[in-house]
Amino acid sequence: MKHLRTVSLFFVFLFAFNLSQAQFQTVFIGVNGLTCAQCTRTVEMSIRKLDFVADVQMNLEHTEGKIVLKKDKKADMEKIAQAVTNAGFSLRYLNADLSVDNSVYTSGQCFTYKGDQYVFTQPPRDQLKGVVRLKFIGKKFLSKNEFKKMEPLTTATCSGAAGKVYHVAI
């Protein structure tokens, strides 16, 4: 009886722990300059080298890519941008789907996730929940013209950032 109780508690704990884990799931990128299958393959292979990437699907016709991330690995959006740059191209946009739960702490214009801080260009009206698509704002994540338009929105900061600071929009 005691053994059954211990096993039951273990599964309750395991289930509760899994529910409390937020995770970036998928990243969507627009890549400038993709003109041929070899260009697309070069970008794909550069991104695949990242240890948090599970799969990469590139679309030459739309010059876009979908990056599926590994579960339980911290994704680094700057490394994705750098991988595209290392392949000889630049990003037009970088959006990421974040599965939100109670491990994402939001405070007005900011939230913290796995040690990094995310600053909204405009605070969300509602509490984050479910799957939220974030648009990353910065020189590394947008075309030059798009960044010029968005740059005034990247002046906000939050206190207590230990890791990287990302500006994002919903």
Work out the widest C-alpha separation in the chain, in whole angstroms.
Answer: 67
Phi then psi dihedrals of residue 93, to 5 deg: -160, 160
Find the domain containing 27 and state its range: 21-102+121-152
Mode of pairing for the β-strands spanning 130-137 and 53-59? unpaired
14 assigned to some structural domain:
no
The CB-based long-range contact list for 137-140 (8 Å cut-off, 24+ gap) reads 137/167, 137/168, 137/169, 138/166, 138/167, 140/78, 140/81, 140/82, 140/85, 140/91, 140/94
Residue-wise pLDDT for 48-61, tens only, equals 999 999 999 999 99
**pLDDT tens for each residue of 75-124:** 999 999 999 999 999 999 999 999 987 656 566 688 888 888 899 998 88
- 19-73 per-position pLDDT tens digit: 335 789 999 999 999 999 999 999 999 999 999 999 999 999 999 999 999 998 9
Is 166 contained in some domain?
no
- 94 in any annotated domain: yes
Q: 160 in a domain, yes or no?
A: no
In the DSSP assignment, the letter for residue 8 is: H
In a domain, 167, yes or no: no
156 confidence band (pLDDT: 50, 70, 90): confident
**Would 162 be classed as within a structural domain?**
no
Any idea what the CATH number is for the domain that residue 35 is in? Answer: 3.30.70.100
Looking at the 3D structure of the chain, how many domains does it have? 1
**146: in domain:** yes
CA atoms within 13 A on the CB side of 128: 28
Residue 38 belongs to some domain of the structure: yes
3-state SS class at 61: coil
Q: What is the mean pLDDT of residues 129-138?
A: 93
